[in-house]
Amino acid sequence: ILNVEQSPQSLHVQEGDSTNFTCSFPSSNFYALHWYRWETAKSPEALFVMTLNGDEKKKGRISATLNTKEGYSYLYIKGSQPEDSATYLCAFMVNRDDKIIFGKGTRLHILP
């Protein structure tokens, strides 16, 4: 059974502080790793798709790194803002033409 683990489950961060959280996945048969942001009452929104070991992607204040050999990815948020409050999901893909398995997410609360 493929397992995608995210930690922490929940996180409270002061506005303006930077933060990061982790996604762990099986390191064998890696194909792609996705990050999504899911705000309450909206549909999940794609942030990044990463496929290569050592990949680093950036979108504004949010960035992500990927280590496929050890099976983890970090998501970083610099200078947290209230609009960053959401659940951040990572999802793992084993092979081409295969299903995408999601972790349970990290729920981020930004404190004013």
Q: Which residues are near other proteins by CB under 8 A? A: 31-32, 34, 36, 42-46, 49, 51, 89, 91, 93, 96-105
Could you check whether the bond before residue 8 is cis, i.e. omega within 30 degrees of 0?
yes
CB of 63 to other proteins, least distance (A): 17
Nearer residue to other proteins within complex by CB, 19 or 106: 106
CB of 20 to other proteins, least distance (A): 20
- 95: number of CA atoms within 13 Å, CB side? 2
CB of 17 to other proteins, least distance (A): 26
